[in-house]
Structure 1
Amino acid sequence: MNISTLSDCYPSTRTHTYPILDSLQVTVTTTYNPFDLPLDTLFSMAARINKKRSFLFVSKVLGKHIPVHPYTSLLSGASLALLLYREMVEHEEQERIEELLQQTIQGLRNPDLAEEAYKQILNAQLSLPYSLQFIGFAETATALGHSMYQLFADKSSYIHTTREDIPDLQSLINFDEEHSHAVSHRCYASKPEVLTGSETVVLVDDEMTTGKTALNIIRDMQAKFPRKLYVVASLLDWRTKQDEEAYAELEAELGVTIKPLCLLKGSMRVEGAADLEPADTSLPEGREDAAVKVQHYDDLFPSIKVSSVDSNGQINTSPYLMATARFGIVSEDNEAIGAGVSKAAQKLQSLRSSSNSRSLVMGTGEFMYVPMRIAAEMDVGVYYQSTTRSPIHPSQKPDYGINSGYSYPSPDDPGTRNFIYNVEPDQYEDIFILFERDVPPGRVESMIHIAKKLAARQVYLIFFTAKLHDWKVQNV
């Protein structure tokens, strides 16, 4: 195995200063940028309503907080996969990988080239002589981890952690994300082999701030399912020298190797604090509301019949989808997932107001990868994002990352607030909101109220499991 230090090959030390609000400024010094990507290709900045960290790198490639081209999001995971593959293959493969990396750079810089770049990488059929176990961190990196895993043609597995409480199953791994507003992670594996082997584990997160989340899961995994090598992959890596020393200390303590991998590494200096005045989150009045229709497609993906319980003790018996990888998938599952995605894309495409209208496909919470893939297989003019539980302060300041935001109780757990960011009224003719499971109609009323004010013509609520509740009418 040929894992080296990429920063030795691609040094790139530059300093950028971001005035976020009048009272808050973040200075970023980049030390490693293997694709030499402009920083504004990867993120913008916004203030975050969080006592532990008052700002957020708003990713322009992740497909979480703001709408993006769906192939841009898929390509972000693919780019990490290519970096991993290059570090693990023999030298005779390097020329082919460099060609794919150049296509990736072009695709990340220009969304119009993202689809072609992603498909070229996917067609390359990356394969290693040994197995990889991918683990994506909820909720933000569930799709990033899946798209990274998807690039490896065989011998791989993927599972993502979850904030869901599923009493029917035992969580094999438990750990905390210390800086987050939602700290507890669980990991339920219906396919034990996705966690219990001795293969190399690839932990995937969108951003490493201190890296403690990865250390927590490595410590827990090594006590239960020991192995020799862990790779920690992320889009952004802001660990300090002290944080890196903590990695070295854990390596020595556990007798393992931990290798970081990222698109951008650097340090940051924060000056001031966010002085947050109440933001304008009012919905536009005096405009005609878009129509709303509800569709249940329960025959596209295999389901897993387990129940969840929310923070209020309410039980939801609607099944989950195998395709999300919340319970683990292996390479042999990929073909069936792809077939379901293609059928779903055809159904949603047929519902659009016109074949080239501006449409938004919206995942919900941890349900990101399947909606992202569906959006990618629809026709032109389709953008993708997911709802989020991240509380971000919107502002109309120039170059600020979040310009608008709307909050509502989560349909999965009314005790949790969810948010929709950077969707303006009439920006999209059709908005498709995709749910993994059926929920009681009353739990989506607040979300529907927002969507009806934002869509120009039509809102579709798409559920991928059978209808368990009484959706009496097509127009809600």
Structure 2
Amino acid sequence: MTAAEQERTGPEPSAGPQEWTGRWVAERAGVALTGSERLPELVGLALRENRKRAHLLVSTVLGKHVPQRPAVVHGAGLELGRRVRELLGPLGGQSLARAVVLGYAETATGLGHSVADGLDAPYLHSTRRPVPGLVPLGGFEEEHSHATSHLLLPADPGLLAGDGPLVLVDDEFSTGTTVLNTIRALHTRHPRAHYVVVALVDLRGAEDRRRLADTAAELGVRLDLVALAGGGVELPADILDRAERLIAEAGAAPEPPAAPAAPAAPLVRVDLAWPDGLPDGGRHGFTPEHRARLEEALPALAEQLAAAVEDGADGRGPAGGGRVLVLGFEELMYAPLRLAGALAERLPGGADRVHSSTTTRSPVLAVDDPGYAIRTRLAFPAHDDPADDSSRERYVYNVAPGADPARRFDTVVLVVDDLADTPALHRGERALLGQLRRVTDRVVLAVLPSHRPAAPAGPLPAPLYGPAFSSYRADEVAWLLKDLSEVALEAPTEEREEAVQSGGAHYAESLPVEYQPSPEYQELFHQALRASARRIALAVGTVAETLLRERGPGLVLASLARAGTPVGVLIRRWLAAGHGVDAPHYAVSIVRGRGIDPVAVRYLDAHHRAADVVFVDGWTGKGAITRELAEALAGTGFDPGLAVLADPGRCVSTFGTRDDFLIPSACLNSTVSGLVSRTVLRADLIGPDDFHGAKHYTELAGADVSGAFLDTVADHFEDVRAEAVAAAGRFGSAEHEAERTPDWAGWAAVERISAEFGIDDVNLVKPGVGETTRVMLRRVPWRVLARRGAGADLDHVRLLAAQRGVPVEEVDDLPYSCVGLIHPRYTRGATGASGTAVLVKES
């Protein structure tokens, strides 16, 4: 088919502000909206600290950052859905009947669901929350987001497999890169003839419009666009400097409101009678049948909320007649929105009294001015993180009244799912519930059951063993991996980096070309091994003795392939030599943004007691994998605690040391890890009942030092055994408990470095000597930050940097020995004849 792009705009229910909430930014930063006169009704402006994109369009009708009447929020989505229906209707009833709607997390989950309501179509939204045992249908990276990885996790894998129109919904359409990436990925797997892109506002430039048409022509599809308003954003050439100056002048975000002398507002918990089996949103799919069940249940659910809000059905309670906010939680936007709408219908005068908004991950500057979109901000610790990482902030905007008492809400109804109803939500001075209780008269907490689809349970594959797979002995490790040795997966480093950063590929879909070290570098490895072998042995022993004390002799080791696997082998050797414990040891894959291998988890659960399994890795950087593991294992019987030799990120409680020192296995790739590649997860290679994949590089056997590394460290075991037992005993005593408590200082340092160097994706900042080494071996390094005075532990880093022409800057106040920065400046360019993205590096 030929490409078609049809932009449809039309009237939108007014959001009702008396003054445009973009005036403050427009006047001071020189930002202007052009095009449709309706744009100021739909969006205001704010600023964020981001050296790539300082301005932020803040929707007034999305129900995210700005509290809005639920009829306006849901109505905007319904209107878009009706316009899509008008577009599809002339194509025939079958086209409309086969349509599926896909929304984007986190901002557009509720909007997409509302569009699906307007079409009465099945709905799915992307998510950043993995589910143990549920294999992603696909995923993508969002380049400029604060949380970049998106997963598609339909309970029914066939949801996106039809040939009817696919309707993709986002809150705004600025460049179209994310949408086009999604279309390309899904079209490869499930080609279809028609795509419809839906957004509240269309702000693309001429080049982005051409790119949409070119993509449609290349794929041979029809590609339409539907929006409520179109136009553009005009920015001055020095917008980043202006924004930086304005942010500095505005000063730091205000502290949370101090605890009042009087008691905090009462907290009322409501156990909503949510229908059994009804999904709480579209994270795993929401069908027309689900929609009918929700519509039937809403009046009774609203009755329960009304009783809590007004202390009885007569409306004479403490909140009678006051303003009510129903506050959702990140991706959980739609259910709170619909509850707010039903509550508005139930309460006297509710159409004007009840508003809806949602918490968010995105940090934005708050300015208490009527002409600015984000007037107040409450920052609070993440409360859905199983790792209990209090350094990960979340935000809620325009809920605290600020200087205008007329904006105050008398009651706040907080709606979360049960996975987010954690101690971090309730306890602590900065906890969200505590802060809400200081800015309102009553807080109502409603907890919905998070929908947990059952993972399909197919046959379990068998593990791989050396020497057929890896150079390790068969008794030292069982690899829960699929052998991809015959598949060509390697790509040049810069090509991989460009594809990953643009969002066109995930890093686990390909492999870097294995770096073959120079003789000079190999000698550095052996020198480092000789110098640090005793220190590594002590760390191994400390971890092994701690695990034995706390978990008992029935330990099952699960190392995170591949860096954790030599560590798992060493811990196993220690336990066997000193205690006669023959601990089973498996190597399993975990992928950032995709979670731990669900089939491997099923295998471990089928063959061992989950409580006996200990996950092992080499070291921590900023703690991304620590979080990934905790999130992936939430709701299972497995302990998500990670055991590592070195914890410079200060994010685990079982470690050998918190010093950032060189573990020589970080110096090399497969030749120190049993000749096994890093793990691979790609939909066309890994099926729902397959382990994640990896390659065995038998051709590198001549350079293999895996056995030498293990033997050299193990030779020191007896020398350090008494010292390791004493260290483990100290960790087990109550007076030293604080030494083991994670404080996530490493993550704070990474965020500071990201801000200092204008990097808006923390995944490009790799702290610690081990992670920096990986950057030099596998990625496109930009620069290395070395702690002033760091010694021989960095000799190999300096050598690699010299070989690759990467500057090494000595800095003060660095909590790590060094930090590697990946080159951040890659953008999507043209598309090759094969459909593979061709990417170019910015100058």
- Aligned to 1:435, which of 416, 424, 429? 416
Amino acid in the other structure paired with 1:346: E
* Aligned-partner Cα distance in 2 for 1:387–1:63: 10
* Aligned-partner Cα distance in 1 for 2:409–2:94: 40
Amino acid in the other structure paired with 1:72: V
- The answer to whether 1:53 aligns with 2:34 is no
RMSD, matched Cα: 2.9
Amino acid in the other structure paired with 2:147: A
Amino acid in the other structure paired with 2:32: T
Higher strand share: 1
TM-score, length of structure 2 as denominator length: 0.45
**Deviation (angstroms), 1:333:** 1.9
In structure 1, the partner of 2:116 is: 149
* Aligned-partner Cα distance in 2 for 1:58–1:68: 12
- Aligned to 1:407, which of 379, 385, 393? 379
Q: Deviations over 1:344-376 (max 9, x none)?
A: 211001111335321111111100111100110
2:77–2:112 contact (8 Å) kept in structure 1: yes
Amino acid in the other structure paired with 1:432: V
2:8–2:226 contact (8 Å) kept in structure 1: no
For 1:64-463, what aligned pairs fall within 5 Å after superposition?
A: 64-90=64-90, 129-153=96-120, 156-271=121-236, 272-273=239-240, 274=243, 275=245, 276=247, 277-284=251-258, 286=260, 288=262, 289-297=264-272, 299-303=273-277, 322-353=279-310, 354=315, 355-378=320-343, 379=347, 380=350, 381-413=353-385, 414-415=388-389, 416-425=392-401, 427-438=408-419, 439-445=421-427, 446-456=431-441, 458-463=442-447
Amino acid in the other structure paired with 1:420: V
Which of the pair has more CA radius of gyration? 2
| CA shift in 2, pair 1:452/1:249, >3 Å | same
Q: Deviations over 1:301-341 (max 9, x none)?
A: 334xxxxxxxxxxxxxxxxx614021112212211122333
2:156–2:285 contact (8 Å) kept in structure 1: yes
User: Secondary structure of the residue that 1:193 maps to in structure 2?
Assistant: helix
* Aligned-partner Cα distance in 1 for 2:175–2:209: 8
User: Secondary structure of the residue that 2:409 maps to in structure 1?
Assistant: coil
**Deviation (angstroms), 1:89:** 2.7
* Aligned-partner Cα distance in 2 for 1:18–1:238: 19
Amino acid in the other structure paired with 2:332: F
| CA shift in 2, pair 1:22/1:152, >3 Å | closer
* Aligned-partner Cα distance in 2 for 1:409–1:174: 27
Amino acid in the other structure paired with 2:288: S
User: Secondary structure of the residue that 1:230 maps to in structure 2?
Assistant: strand
User: Secondary structure of the residue that 2:418 maps to in structure 1?
Assistant: coil
**Deviation (angstroms), 1:8:** 10
Q: Deviations over 1:274-327 (max 9, x none)?
A: 121313244155453201133333x41334xxxxxxxxxxxxxxxxx6140211
* Aligned-partner Cα distance in 2 for 1:7–1:365: 29
| CA shift in 2, pair 1:9/1:58, >3 Å | closer
- Aligned to 2:32, which of 20, 27, 30? 27
* Aligned-partner Cα distance in 2 for 1:127–1:368: 30
* Aligned-partner Cα distance in 1 for 2:367–2:265: 26
Identity of aligned residues (%): 30
Amino acid in the other structure paired with 1:460: V
User: Secondary structure of the residue that 2:25 maps to in structure 1?
Assistant: strand
1:408–1:417 contact (8 Å) kept in structure 2: yes
**Deviation (angstroms), 1:255:** 1.7
| CA shift in 2, pair 1:55/1:302, >3 Å | farther
In structure 1, the partner of 2:63 is: 63
* Aligned-partner Cα distance in 1 for 2:140–2:295: 31
**Deviation (angstroms), 1:218:** 0.3
* Aligned-partner Cα distance in 2 for 1:43–1:375: 22
Q: Deviations over 1:104-160 (max 9, x none)?
A: xxxxxxxxxxxxxxxxxxxxxx9975311000101011110111111224xx21011
Gaps spanning 5+ residues in structure 2: where?
12-20, 451-633, 636-843
* Aligned-partner Cα distance in 1 for 2:75–2:276: 26
Q: Deviations over 1:60-100 (max 9, x none)?
A: 11100011101100011012112212223349x9xxxxxxx
1:300–1:343 contact (8 Å) kept in structure 2: no
Q: Deviations over 1:382-407 (max 9, x none)?
A: 11111111111001234111111011
In structure 2, the partner of 1:306 is: none
Amino acid in the other structure paired with 1:45: L
Higher RCO (CA < 8 A, seq sep 6+):
1
| CA shift in 2, pair 1:159/1:211, >3 Å | same
* Aligned-partner Cα distance in 2 for 1:235–1:281: 33
- Aligned to 1:464, which of 448, 458, 473? 448
Gaps spanning 5+ residues in structure 1: where?
11-15, 94-125, 304-320, 470-476
Amino acid in the other structure paired with 2:218: E
Amino acid in the other structure paired with 1:403: R
**Deviation (angstroms), 1:451:** 0.6
**Deviation (angstroms), 1:228:** 0.7
**Deviation (angstroms), 1:6:** 4.1
1:43–1:60 contact (8 Å) kept in structure 2: yes
* Aligned-partner Cα distance in 1 for 2:27–2:90: 51
* Aligned-partner Cα distance in 2 for 1:4–1:82: 18
Higher helix share: 2
| CA shift in 2, pair 1:129/1:407, >3 Å | closer
1:18–1:27 contact (8 Å) kept in structure 2: no
Q: Which moved more, 1:285-294 or 1:184-193?
A: 285-294
* Aligned-partner Cα distance in 1 for 2:94–2:380: 43
1:342–1:377 contact (8 Å) kept in structure 2: yes
User: Secondary structure of the residue that 1:28 maps to in structure 2?
Assistant: strand
**Deviation (angstroms), 1:44:** 1.2
